[in-house]
Amino acid sequence: MIEPGTERMPSSHPGEHLAEFLQDCGLSARALGRALGIPHNRVLAILAGRRSITAETALRLGRYFGTSAEMWINLQARHDLELARVERGEVVAAEVAPRDEVTEPA
């Protein structure tokens, strides 16, 4: 159960981080899509938070921006995990007992 006052909002979507990179580099979504070899509407969907960064897109972003693919995929994973905690954390806590609290059959 979540204690009152400890609720957290999910971390920002990786698209927000990508938007900062684009702004800093003076790039448009169309230009980035062209550079990455992906449709610009995929870039737009990531920027809008409607699409996740896949492993392949993380590889392409890492290569292009000189970062690691892990950075991009970890941003996505952290966002997804925090969103799951907010949306389903209480349900999971109610349905799943920690291993040390489970009475196993003899």
Q: What is the pLDDT of residue 10?
A: 59
Q: Is residue 57 part of a domain?
A: yes
The predicted-structure confidence for 17-50, as pLDDT tens digits, reads as follows 999 999 999 999 999 999 999 999 999 999 999 9
Q: Is residue 92 part of a domain?
A: yes
What total number of domains does the chain contain?
A: 1
Q: Is residue 42 part of a domain?
A: yes
* Residue 33 lies in domain: 14-96
Q: How far out from the chain centre does Cα 78 lie?
A: 6
Percent of the chain with pLDDT over 70: 87
pLDDT reading at 104 higher than 70: no
Q: Is residue 72 part of a domain?
A: yes
Mean pLDDT over the full length of the chain: 91
pLDDT reading at 61 higher than 50: yes
pLDDT reading at 56 higher than 60: yes
Answer yes or no: are the C-beta atoms of 10 and 83 closer than 8 Å: yes
CATH of the domain at 23: 1.10.260.40
User: How far, in Å, CA of 104 to CA of 102, rounded?
Assistant: 6
